[in-house]
Amino acid sequence: MPTVELTYREALRRALREEMVRDENVYMMGEDIAIYGGAFGVSLGLLEEFGQERIKDTPLSESVIVGAALGSALTGMRPVAEIMFMDFITIGMDQLINQAAKIHYMYGGKACVPMVLRTPGGSGTGAAAQHSQSLEGLLCHIPGLKVVMPSSPYDALGLLKSSIRDNNPVVFVEHKLLYSQKGLVPEKEYLVPLGKSEVKREGTDLTLVALSVMVVRALKAADKLAQEGISVEIIDPRTLVPLDSEAIINSVKKTHRLLIVHEACKRGGFGAEILSQIEESDAFDYLDVPIRRLAGSDIPIPYSPGLEKGAVPQEDDIVEAVRELVG
């Protein structure tokens, strides 16, 4: 199949455009997404193509954004709302957690909430403690929400299209450091299904499950480790809810070791959920060493570049953790 090279940002833009062309009920809303083109440039040019009725700038109020998206989704629209920084999703938590996540259940399946919240997360841009958090663990705890974290342009495009077509509220987390990452995507339209992980690299000595930008760092670490004769298998869940546990279980049975890497704080992070599912499965009997989590420090993200970098796992940290587990 013919392919084209796109950045992560361009892949998201293409997904949005394709879905808006396909379905007139799809529209976008958020702070500075129209005239300005979005804080990270994802929606640049879409206003000129689709007009103000479908590319809507909103007030600086995340509770309004989430509430309006919820209301329009209930009436048959398919809103894609942008929360400028993931940290600000907390301002819309009542509408998201107490309303959007529960309406399908409380109405006995007679009402659906087909809405997507796109939100940039993570550190690495010097944005300090209130603009650099990874809050996916909070969201994964809530029944009724789906949580997606793509790590490549290919996955970003295909997963966003699937999220827009899903009849449930989806939180779509885009790491800020990935927007400029380049990758090949098919020229023809395609979808990546929710709830299906991908083996990004085959290996035999250790299974490494990484989330979002940590997939990129894990792949670089695996290249270094290969020079030492250590073979690492890297799995990207891609969607945290629903989670494809089977792929991780099968990999652990093959490699007998598991390292989980994510940027969010270790305490209560999603890595603990992955760990528990392995321990509660028959893969536990295959483990040669205890499972290890490599995660962010349990502190607010510092503003200082050096301290910020030290607060979350880096490539060298992954290399060292693998060496210790493989022995």
Residues marked as catalytic: 131
Q: Is 79 helix (H, G, I), strand (E, B) or coil?
A: strand
State how far the alpha carbon of 259 is from the alpha carbons of 197, 219, 235, 251, 316, in Å: 16, 13, 10, 12, 14
CA distance 171 to 148: 6
Spatial contact of 279 and 270, defined as CB atoms under 8 Å apart: no
Spatial contact of 103 and 111, defined as CB atoms under 8 Å apart: yes
Rounded to 5°, angle at Cα 41 from 71 and 48 = 70
Residues 6+ apart with CB under 8 A from 122: 86, 132, 133, 134, 175, 176, 177, 212, 213, 263
CA distance 146 to 125: 26
Strand pairing class (78-82; 26-30): parallel
State how far the alpha carbon of 282 is from the alpha carbons of 165, 276, 319, in Å: 35, 12, 27
CA distance 248 to 227: 25
